[in-house]
Amino acid sequence: MGIIIGFVLLVQIALAFMGTRLAHWVLHLLLVRLGGLPVSGKIIWIGVNLVFLILTSRFLYGLIEDSKGGTPDASPVWKFCLGINLLFYFWVFWRGWAVR
């Protein structure tokens, strides 16, 4: 169980820090530079962060629901990971907001 939790935390970190920046860069390249649309970088940043937060939170919520009912109830561990996920995305959002 510990290896799975460690892997999930590493994936959360990778998505929060690298995935959002890559997705923002690609969308900014496609929409603003190549498409010529007048879209603010901050609006793209908000959209990218919300989409990634919703997807990762939904995945962790599915793990919470799946882990209930076993002999050792592992749902508090996944709730902790969900809390860490929210903290990662809020931190990444504010750091990126200041730069954009």
For residues 30-36, give the mean pLDDT. Answer: 90
**In the structure, what pLDDT confidence band is assigned to residue 97 with cuts at 50, 70 and 90?**
confident
Instruction: For 2-55, give the DSSP string.
Output: HHHHHHHHHHHHHIIIIIHHHHHHHHHIIIIIIT-----HHHHHHHHHHHHHHH
Distance between CA atoms of residues 99 and 42, nearest Å: 9
For residues 23-41, give the mean pLDDT. Answer: 91
Q: Which of 84, 89, 9, 85 is nearest to 45 (CA)?
A: 89
pLDDT given at position 1: 67
Position 40 pLDDT exceeds 80: yes
Q: pLDDT digit string (tens) for 41-91?
A: 899 999 999 999 999 888 888 888 877 776 677 788 888 888 988 998 898
Query: Structure pTM?
Result: 0.81
For residues 9-33, give the mean pLDDT. Answer: 89
Amino acid at residue number 3: I
Position 100 pLDDT exceeds 90: no
